[in-house]
Structure 1
Amino acid sequence: MPPIPPLFVLPVPPSVATSSTQNQQGEFICTQPSPQVYLLSFSYPPDNRLTPAFNQSFLLALDIIEHRLPRGVVITTSTISKFYSNGLDFENAIRDPTFFPSSLFPLWRRLVTYPMPTVALMNGHAFAGGLMTAMMHDYRIMNPHKGFVCLNELDFGAALQPAMASVFRVKLNMTTFRNMVLESRRFPALEALKEGIIDGVGDVDETLAFIGEMKLTQKAQGASYGKIKEEMYREVVKDLDEGPDTPKTLTARDLDRNRRDSEAKKRVDEYQAVLRRAKL
C-alpha cells in the first residue's frame, strides 16, 4: 500500500513538567485508510504518557475530525511499536491539582461520548491509564503477537479514582475486573479477547475489516449516536463530570477508613486486655 497523505498533523510539544524521559516532541497524524475511516496515529516518545500536552493534542484531533471531516469511524493507534500507552506520568500527575479534572478526565469524557464509533488499535502494551484510555473507546483491537493490557496500580501504590474504575465495571464482568486490579494480571491478546476486554485481534487491515463487518461507517451517520452513548455510559460520564469533587470524596473516605481502623485497633486492645486479666 502506498503512503497515505495525512489529513492533518498536530505536534505534541515537550513539557517541562514531565519526567526527564518524556522530553521529546511528539505528534498526532490523521490519515484516511478507507472512506470515512480516520486513522489517528500518535507518537510521544518514549511510551506515549498521558501528559497535559499529549491530552490536549488528542482532544484537538478529535475536535478536528468531528467538525471538519465527514462523519465516520475513528481508529486511534501508536506508531511506537512497543506501546499503545504506558499510562500517566504519575508523579507529575498527582502533584498537579488540575491534571485530572482539567486534562485527563475531559479527554476521557470526549472519547466515551464521542458522536462517532471509536476503535482503539492497541499495537503494543496498554498499561494503567493507557488501558483506561483504550476502554473509553467503543471497540478495541489488539496486536496478537506482542503486548499486554494491565491495570498495575497495585504495583506502584496508586488508588483507583471513581472515574477510573467505573468504565471497567460497566464494560467487563466483575471477575475479570477483580483479576485486573487485585492481581495486576497481564493479559495477552488472546486471553484479553476471551475475557471480553478486547473485541478482536489484528493490525490495521483486520481493524478495517472489523469496521466493515460491523458496518460502523453506516452507524456513524446516526444523529443520535453520541446521545445514545451518553445514556449507555451514564455512570462513567457522571464520575468523570464529578472529577473536580474527587479529592473531597477521597479525603472523606480516608477519614472514614482511619476511624474504622482506630475502632478495630481498640477492639484488639480490649481483647488482649481481657486475655491478660484471665491469666492473673
Structure 2
Amino acid sequence: MIKIENAGSGVFVLRFQNGENRFTPEFLEGVNKALDEVEGEARALVTTGEGKYYSNGLDLDWLAANGQKSNWYVGEIHALYARLLKQNLPAVAAVNGHAFAGGGMLALSHDFIVMRQDRGWFCLPEVDINIPFTPGMAALVQAKLSTGAAHDAMLTGRRYTAPEALEAGIVHRTAPEEEVVKTAIELAAALGGKDGRTFGAIRRTMYRPAIQVLCGESALPLS
C-alpha cells in the first residue's frame, strides 16, 4: 500500500498505492509505519500517489459504517497532519493527480507542493459534501494559505487546476507528469542539506497554533 524508495542524497519517496488513496485506517497506519521506517536515515521526504490520484482524503464509506469510531478516526488524521508539521524531516508533496479534501490537506501538511501541470485538481469540497471542517483542519488550511486563498478554497469548494493553484499560492511549483516526482526530489534534496533539527524547530514555531489545535481536539463536527 505504501512503497518506500531511496532516491539518493538522503531523500526517501513514499508512494501511495491504493487507488484513490483514501484514508482507511490501514492507509493511515501504513503511512505512519513508513515514516517510522525512514525517519532514522532520511534527510528529506517526498510523498506521491499513482495514476489519477494523490489522495481523495477521508474514507466516507468507512466513516458511515463506523460512526461510533469517528472521534478516533479523525484524531488519527489530525495526528498524521501534525506529525508532518512537527517532524525534523523536510517534506515535499509530489501531487501527481487529484488532491481532494483530506488529501489536499495532507499535501498542505508538507513544506512544499509540486503539482502536475496538465491534469488533476486541488479541491477542498467540504462545503459541497456537507462536512464542516474540524477546527484542526481549518487551522491547518488557514496556516498554510493566504487569507484570500483559504477563504476562496474553503467557502466555495473550487477545483483548482495546477496553474490556478500556483497563482493562488496553494502549490509552489508545477511540472509535466513525468517530471513531478523528479522536481519534488530535487527540491527535497536541497532542503535535506539543511540541519533537520533547526528546520523542524523553525517549522514548529511557525505553525505552533495549528499544531496545538490538531493535537488538542479530534471531534468531527457534523452540523
Q: Is the 8 A contact 1:193 1:199 kept in 2?
A: yes
Tell me the equivalent position of 1:77: 48
Tell me the equivalent position of 1:234: 208
* Per-residue Cα deviation, 1:84-109 (whole angstroms, up to 9, x for no partner): 001101243361231112x2111111
Give the Cα–Cα distance (whole angstroms) in 1 for the partners of residues 46 and 151 of structure 2.
28
SS of match in other structure, 1:119 = strand
Give the Cα–Cα distance (whole angstroms) in 1 for the partners of residues 85 and 7 of structure 2.
23
- 1:191 partnered with 2:188: no
2:121 to 148, 156, 168: 148
Across the aligned residues of Structure 1 and Structure 2, the Cα RMSD in angstroms comes to 1.7
Q: 1:211 to 1:111 in 2, by over 3 A?
A: closer
Give the Cα–Cα distance (whole angstroms) in 2 for the partners of residues 240 and 218 of structure 1.
29
Structure 1 spans left out of the alignment, 5+ residues: 1-26, 255-280
Question: Where do residues 240-255 of structure 1 align in structure 2 (5 Å cutoff)?
Answer: 240-244=214-218, 246=219
Tell me the TM-score normalised to structure 2 length.
0.90
Q: 1:223 to 1:177 in 2, by over 3 A?
A: closer
Shift in Å, 1:113: 1.1
Q: Is the 8 A contact 1:52 1:104 kept in 2?
A: no
Tell me the equivalent position of 2:192: 217
Tell me the equivalent position of 2:56: 86
Tell me the TM-score normalised to structure 1 length.
0.72
Shift in Å, 1:54: 0.3
Tell me the equivalent position of 1:63: 36
Question: Where do residues 1-280 of structure 1 align in structure 2 (5 Å cutoff)?
Answer: 27-45=1-19, 47-67=20-40, 69=41, 71-79=42-50, 81-93=51-63, 95=67, 96-97=69-70, 98-101=72-75, 103-202=76-175, 203-212=180-189, 215-219=190-194, 221-244=195-218, 246=219
Structure 2 spans left out of the alignment, 5+ residues: none
Give the Cα–Cα distance (whole angstroms) in 2 for the partners of residues 168 and 112 of structure 1.
12
Paired AA for residue 193 in structure 2: Q
Shift in Å, 1:73: 1.0
User: Which structure: larger Rg?
Assistant: 1
* Per-residue Cα deviation, 1:96-150 (whole angstroms, up to 9, x for no partner): 231112x211111111112110001000000000001110111100000100000
Give the Cα–Cα distance (whole angstroms) in 2 for the partners of residues 42 and 77 of structure 1.
6
Tell me the equivalent position of 1:5: none
Give the Cα–Cα distance (whole angstroms) in 2 for the partners of residues 224 and 210 of structure 1.
18
Identity %: 32
Q: Is the 8 A contact 1:77 1:121 kept in 2?
A: yes
Paired AA for residue 172 in structure 2: D
Paired AA for residue 179 in structure 1: D
Q: Is the 8 A contact 1:87 1:128 kept in 2?
A: yes
Q: Is the 8 A contact 1:93 1:100 kept in 2?
A: no
* Per-residue Cα deviation, 1:199-258 (whole angstroms, up to 9, x for no partner): 10121222233345xx21211x342322222211111111111124x46xx59xx7xxxx
- How many matched pairs? 215
* Per-residue Cα deviation, 1:133-171 (whole angstroms, up to 9, x for no partner): 110111100000100000001111111111111112112
Give the Cα–Cα distance (whole angstroms) in 2 for the partners of residues 99 and 43 of structure 1.
21
Paired AA for residue 134 in structure 1: A
Greater relative contact order: 1 or 2 (C-alpha under 8 angstroms, separation 6 or more)?
2
Q: Is the 8 A contact 2:47 2:94 kept in 1?
A: yes
